[in-house]
Structures are given as C-alpha cells and as structure tokens.
Structure 1
Amino acid sequence: MATKNKVIVTGFEPFGEHTVNSSWVAVQELERLGLGEEIDLHVCEVPVEYQAVQNLLPSMWKEHQPQLVVHVGVSGLAKKVTLEQCGHNKGYKRLDNCNFCPASSCCMENGPDCISSVLDMETVCKRVRESGIDVAVTVSKDAGRYLCDYTYYTSLYLGQGRSAFIHVPPLGKPYSSQDLGRALQAIVQEMMKLPELKNTEEGPEHNEHCNHTH
C-alpha cells in the first residue's frame, strides 16, 4: 500500500487585538474538511513567541518529515486570502506574547536575507481562482516582519523551501470560518499538485534566494 503524503498545517494562538485568531479557527475548519484520501493531514497551533517557534519547528520537520508544511496567520490588513512567496531573515523588532524579541532582530545568524518557497504562489493563486471558489486570493512578497514572517523563514530554511505561508483576514472581514476553511483546502490541494514538490524529495538543498527588492 502506498504511503500517504504528509502535510502539516499550522495556525497561531491569539495575540494583541486578535482575541480569536482566525488562522487557527480556519485550520481547525480545514482539519474537519480534510485534504482527501491521499493526504495525511496534521494540524498544530503555534504560540506567538519567537523562542517557541525556534523550539517547535525543528522537531516538527524532523519527527514528521512532511512533504509540505503550510503556516497560516492572521493579518488585520488583509481583505483577501494572501499567499506569501518568501520569508525574511531580518527586521524582527516587535515584541511577542512574552514581551520578547530577538536581540539580533533576525531569525538565523548568517542565513540568507530572504528565502523563497519552491512553490510558485502565482500558479497556485491562478488555479484556485479558476476553480471558482468564492473567496478572493492574492500573492504577496512581504509577510510582515512579525511571528508570521519569522515562522515562515524558519520553516523555509529547515524544509529547503518546501513550506508555504497563507495570510487570512480576521473572521467576518469579510469571510466566515467555513469560507476560510474551504479556501485553505482548495489552496493546499493545488499546492500538492505542483511538480516542485515531487522534485524536492531527492533533490539538492533548495534555499533559493529571492531577487526582489525589499
């Protein structure tokens, strides 16, 4: 019997004004919907703490050895579900839920400034739109220099680019938890169809550097 593809999808705990974090609500909705028979879905709630991310992510990648890790976060500025293409190493000056931020303001000492996902988010976005889903989807190259961006960069670094980040709006602005869950399902299913994921299993280390201007 063929082994299932393992996918981990994470959301974040509440922080600041987000007393209910729509990212974790959406991920729980995705867990209820599932990703189909061929995909073994695991979900996890991530603390909004830099040090917790540094502890959690290496064990997540090592123990589960997933084909893909998708992190979901809330953005108070987002009106659409937003696919982030890359994560950034520097510029982390906002305090987390423990009133901590890295002294160096960066994720990885001597790491590249920016790492891009192996997944082409423009392709994913286009295919999700063509599927007729009634949720607006867009692409971004700036995940915001807080725990979202920090988590994404760390995961891209650990997974040689086999990671994705999705920003969702707060609940009801304008989408319900059901809307967001269905959007996540459609997006992750499209990601799993991409040839880039098939090619990375035996391939060289990725860590592709971005070439866009910051």
Structure 2
Amino acid sequence: LQLPVVYQKAKEQVVKIWTTLQPLLTVHVGLASSTTLIILEQCGKNKGYQDRDACGFHPEGACCVLDGPEKIESAINMKTLQKSISVEGIDIIFSRDAGRYVCDYTYYTSLYYGSGRAAFIHVPPLSKSVTADFLGKALQTIILAMLEQCGVDHI
C-alpha cells in the first residue's frame, strides 16, 4: 500500500490498516532522499509537524494525536536489530528521529493505533548500487528479523 505525502490521507490509511486488518506488526518504509543507508527508526514523535505536505497543509496543532504521548517507542528494539543483522553492500543504522514530516507522522500514528507494534524503515533512493531487487532482499532480511523479535517463526 503506497501512502501519499499528505498527513490526513496517511493517517486515514494507517487507521484503516489497524482497524480492519489488525496485524501483528505493521512495517512502514519511507524514502530518505539524502541517504545511502538503511535507517531503522525506533520511535515516532507526536509534535513538531510545521512543514506543509504535498497539498499545502500541516496537522492541527502541529501534532499527530491531540493529548497523545510525546513519543511512542516501537515494540521492536531497533538497536538490537541493527546490531544483529547485516546486509552486504549497504550499511544499516539506528535512529531516534524519523524527521517530523509525513514519515514520522505516519509512524507515530501507527505506533499509537497499533500499541507500539509498528516499525519504520527509511531507505535510500534507487541507484546503480541500490536496485529495487537489492532493496527488496534487504528489507526481507530486516522484516524477518523483526518477526523473530515478535516471536514469529519464518513464514
């Protein structure tokens, strides 16, 4: 499911995922155009959304959920994950700041409605060294490790 770079639409889709599918874990993947790394995001932040989205809007009160907690941590320990996996050809790092834009907004919303059972991975743009096939295999490795942390056997 591809989410638009629009706060409200992204929120609607994330809420729909949690209310209709009720997944064990939701993994979101976003483009970080200025990186060459894969970035595992640990938490989502509720406030600070001043930048306007693709439609020219920003959230009311510059926050995701009125009266929601300041930040929500993922149930997945991203630092442990980052230390335990490797993908040849690309570095994987850990982050506690998903950027206060639609990616972070989406992540916080998913963590809120999923009670922490969400993950967010920032990926670099496709290039000669980072092909769609390469990135897909890297994401598969990462997501399988996340599921192991959740106590799920390989699918």
User: What band does the TM-score fall into relative to the shorter chain?
Assistant: over 0.9
Identity of aligned residues (%): 45
Q: Distance in 2 between matches of 1:177 and 1:85?
A: 24
Q: Is residue 2:113 matched to residue 1:158?
A: yes
Structure 2 partner of 1:9: none
Amino acid of the structure 2 residue aligned with 1:51 = Q
Structure 2 partner of 1:140: 95
Aligned-pair RMSD on alpha carbons? 1.6
Structure 2 partner of 1:26: none
Amino acid of the structure 1 residue aligned with 2:147 = M
Deviations 1:42-66 (A, max 9, x none): xx11111111122111111111111
Q: Distance in 2 between matches of 1:142 and 1:159?
A: 19
Q: Quick one: structure 1 residues 94 and 117, their matched pair in 2 at CA, closer, same or farther if it must change by over 3 Å?
A: same
1:148 to partner: Cα distance: 0.3
1:198 to partner: Cα distance: 4.2
TM-score (norm 2): 0.92
| Residue among 66, 90, 97 paired with 2:47 | 90
Matches within 5 A, 1:17-28: none
1:103 to partner: Cα distance: 2.9
1:77 to partner: Cα distance: 2.3
Unaligned ranges ≥5, structure 2: none
Q: Is residue 2:71 matched to residue 1:107?
A: no
Amino acid of the structure 1 residue aligned with 2:98 = A
Q: Is residue 2:86 matched to residue 1:125?
A: no
SS at match of 1:171: coil
Q: Quick one: structure 1 residues 173 and 137, their matched pair in 2 at CA, closer, same or farther if it must change by over 3 Å?
A: farther
Amino acid of the structure 2 residue aligned with 1:139 = F
Structure 2 partner of 1:54: 11
SS at match of 1:46: coil
TM-score (norm 1): 0.68
Q: Is residue 2:122 matched to residue 1:167?
A: yes
Q: Distance in 1 between matches of 2:121 and 2:54?
A: 21
Higher RCO, 1 vs 2 (CA within 8 Å, ≥6 residues apart): 2
Q: Distance in 1 between matches of 2:38 and 2:151?
A: 25
SS at match of 1:55: helix
Matched length: 152
Q: Distance in 2 between matches of 1:54 and 1:143?
A: 16
Matches within 5 A, 1:14-53: 44-53=1-10
